[in-house]
Amino acid sequence: MVQNTLKDTFKNSNYKLAGHGERNIHVLKEAFKSIDGDLESDNYGEGAVIQEFEEKMAATLGKEEAVFFPSGTMAQQIALRIWCDEKGLRKVAYHPLSHIEIHEEDGLKELHKIETVLLAEKNRVIELEDVLRIEEPIASILLELPQREIGGQLPSFETLEQISKHCQEHGIKLHLDGARLLEVLPYYQKSAAEVCALFDSVYISFYKGVGGIAGAVLAGDKEFIKHSKVWKRRYGGDLISLYPYILSADYYYRQRADKMELYYEAAKELAGFYNACHGISTLPLEPVSNMFHVHFHQAKELVEPILTEVQQQTGIGLTSYLKEIDENSCSFEVSLGDLYETVPRELLEKVFKQLDALMKQRFSSI
């Protein structure tokens, strides 16, 4: 008999606790269903389709202008390069687990020769003290809200205000990696514009909490956006047509921007279910956005059969993968979306009862 894998049992489950659903072609079809075919494509950054969405996002983020990018990687490298050029200094600071540092094949360094200062330890967010401790001159600081690689943690809003004030006083441009900006607004109880007001430039993504196909927006003042567009052309990001991403971003933004509070509440509840299980804890313990990480204090190869069994027997999908942290621990990421509220209450209780029982049975000595 072929052994079912964690991935298979997740894929074949009747209900999934996280996300908005599968990333398949329906996502595009659904977004374009009600769009008039006669609508003209954008054309190398010009035209109503792109300009109207950029204006809408600039207003939402409280910035003078905004520009649509195919990716956040491109948008953020460009933002930091512009701030470096403005100061005539190729040095920036960010968290050791920022996207730029670990997921971009060193694009910032290879393409721009920008040096980096890593702020804070890997397992916590950047605090004011980390910023005050920087000894060398830097052009810009990038803050990621929430800090994804550590489960989506956040500094307090007061800390953000203090860092912002310090940067302003010291001629350091503050850039927001707001890939999941909308997702943190319910925790801060602030509008997007209120958070962005603390930053000189902001990037947001449309395929995380929003659940679009791909794409990003970079926002800032007029001069900054003028330079961004030149760099976008240099990078080959100024496509003849970006509308497949723009129109789907707009569609899902309209569907989901107001549901972030719902996802946040769901995340807190779901984290509670995990934390009630033997040998499992979430990071953060109480989520501050729609996301968190689920940690097991056991080896991956011991945990994987348990999760597989639970998924197979209950038809409830918890995760498609497990990431080994070290030989005695593993984890997976959860981002709450539209699917959570579709799961029947009694099944939700059943799956965690079973998970807890299996964890206790296998690891009763802990």
Binding site for a copy of itself (CB under 8 A): 22-29, 32, 35-41, 43, 69-75, 77, 104-107, 110-112, 207, 213-214, 230-231, 233-245, 247
Least separation in angstroms between residue 103's CB and a copy of itself is: 8
Least separation in angstroms between residue 315's CB and a copy of itself is: 19
Query: Which of 110/129 has CB closer to a copy of itself?
Result: 110
The DSSP bridge pattern shows strands 201-205 and 173-178 to be parallel
Q: Are 144 and 111 in contact (CB under 8 A)?
A: no
- Rounded Cα distance between 20 and 158, Å, is 32
Angle between helices 260-275 and 345-362 (to 10 degrees): 30
Q: State phi, psi for 257 to the nearest 5 degrees.
A: -55, -35
Query: Which of 58/75 has CB closer to a copy of itself?
Result: 75
Question: Strand, coil or helix: what is 57?
Answer: helix
Q: State phi, psi for 79 to the nearest 5 degrees.
A: -60, -45
Query: Which residues sit opposite 139 in a β-bridge?
Result: none
Least separation in angstroms between residue 321's CB and a copy of itself is: 12
Least separation in angstroms between residue 86's CB and a copy of itself is: 15
DSSP 8-state code for residue 259 = G
One-letter amino acid of 330: C
Least separation in angstroms between residue 216's CB and a copy of itself is: 9
- Rounded Cα distance between 255 and 279, Å, is 37
Structure tokens, 48: 């109503």
Buried b (16+ CB within 10 A) or exposed e, 18-31: bbbeeeeeebbeeb
End-to-end, the C-alpha distance of the chain in Å comes to: 33
Residue 38: how many other CB atoms lie within 10 Å: 5
Least separation in angstroms between residue 8's CB and a copy of itself is: 14
Q: Are 213 and 248 in contact (CB under 8 A)?
A: yes
Least separation in angstroms between residue 268's CB and a copy of itself is: 27
Query: Which of 110/301 has CB closer to a copy of itself?
Result: 110
* Residue 324 CB-density burial (10 A; 0-12 exposed, 13-18 middle, 19+ buried): middle
Length of the chain: 366
- Rounded Cα distance between 236 and 220, Å, is 21
Question: Strand, coil or helix: what is 296?
Answer: strand
Structure tokens, 318: 């918890």
